Amino acid sequence: YITMTGPLKQSEVVPHYKSADLLVLMAQPDWHWGIPNVLVEALAAKTPVITTLFGSVEELVKDKETGLLVPPKDPAALAEAIEKLYRDETLRTRLAGAGYQFVVEHFDLDKNIKLFQRKLVHDDASSLLA
């Protein structure tokens, strides 16, 4: 079953992540860039994700490690990825756990603020990219 909710308030979104078997974001490179919050939020809720290659999404969703990546505008590849996760509970669980761990380690706001403070106050600002 697929649920298309339409717009939701932030407080209404979290229960959907927790009850979902997976989240699919078929973003298009010509419309999207960066890392969408919906992917970070889904992984933080231990929901496996499938998305397309666009922007800097590969910084978060590493194919077959923290989620599945499919080419944009490729419904056959998307269907194959959905079926793969539908049939393989072990893979779903592994991707969800790895995605969650990655978000905890790399998207922790307090940790990242402290890192940037250390770099900006005590180090050379050029080391931010190191």
**Amino acid identity for residue 115 in this structure:** L
Per-residue pLDDT at 100 exceeds 90: yes
Per residue in 16-65, pLDDT (tens digit) is 988 899 999 987 777 767 788 899 999 999 999 999 988 788 999 999 99
Other Cβ atoms less than 10 A from the Cβ of 58: the count is 15
Q: Give the predicted TM-score (pTM) of the model.
A: 0.80
pLDDT on residue 28: 76
Per-residue pLDDT at 128 exceeds 70: no
| H-state helical runs in the chain | 10-19, 37-44, 75-87, 89-106, 109-122
Average pLDDT value for the chain: 87
Report the C-alpha gap between 90 and 59 in whole angstroms. 23
Write b or e for each residue in 71-109: b if 16 or more Cβ atoms lie within 10 A of its Cβ, otherwise e: ebeeeebbeebbeebeeeeeebeebbebbbebbeeebee
